[in-house]
Chain A
Amino acid sequence: DAGVIQSPRHEVTEMGQEVTLRCKPISGHDYLFWYRQTMMRGLELLIYFNNNVPIDDSGMPEDRFSAKMPNASFSTLKIQPSEPRDSAVYFCASSFAQGKYEQYFGPGTRLTVT
């Protein structure tokens, strides 16, 4: 299995630009999670989906952030407009509902907003 795939691995953009992060979960997994990791705030859960439906988006920091999961094999996290304080590593993770909920993480996207 290829594991969770994220793209791009690195993104550098200017303040005000739109940023789209992409994730392909492990085939057969029912849950998909988006996290943000920074030195100051640690690992934060932004939103998660079950069977492509958003279940809890209470961690999404502002309306500038949006996430979609149009099908079981693809999800996007969009930031529009981006700001320097959005600079972080964004992780996608997936899990299988029938297990004990252990999550499998992608390698992350390092976002830098200048």
Chain B
Amino acid sequence: GNSVTQMEGPVTLSEEAFLTINCTYTATGYPSLFWYVQYPGEGLQLLLKATKADDKGSNKGFEATYRKETTSFHLEKGSVQVSDSAVYFCALTVPYSSASKIIFGSGTRLSIRP
């Protein structure tokens, strides 16, 4: 079946550090891949997405590349800020499948120290 595995947190970094949050997936068909972010007290927001192999999604300085050969979609940012402190969810869906729902990973809590 379809599933997402992401690195467990919490992850604590200093401001301006480089960030990587690992995500791998298992899916039938051709999934679309997403990163969602949840800031304290809020719902999840779409951060970025990629819909086919080798696509790179980017937003707010974050990037992730759809790697079909390694079934991965790692989230990266070159210089994190305190405002990036949040929980990050990797997710996938298989368009046009019978189950039109998103499969979420367990989430990775990120804390940035000033």
On A, residues with C-beta under 8 Å from B are: 4, 31, 33, 42-43, 45, 48, 50, 55-56, 91, 93, 97, 100-108
Contacts and interface: CB of A to CB of B under 8 A. Distances in A.
Given A101-B100, A107-B43, 14 more contacts: A4-B43, A55-B100, A56-B101, A93-B43, A97-B100, A100-B32, A100-B51, A101-B101, A103-B44, A103-B46, A103-B102, A104-B46, A107-B42, A108-B43
A112 to B, nearest CB: 15
A31 B100 contact: yes
B43 A101 contact: no
Interface residues of B, number: 19
Contacts, number: 48
A107 B41 CA distance: 8
Contact of A100 (B43, B89, B95): B95
B106 A42 contact: yes
Interface string B41-62: 0111110010100000000000
A56 B42 contact: no
B49 A102 contact: yes
A27 B32 CA distance: 24
7 contacts: A4-B43, A42-B106, A42-B107, A97-B100, A100-B95, A101-B93, A101-B101
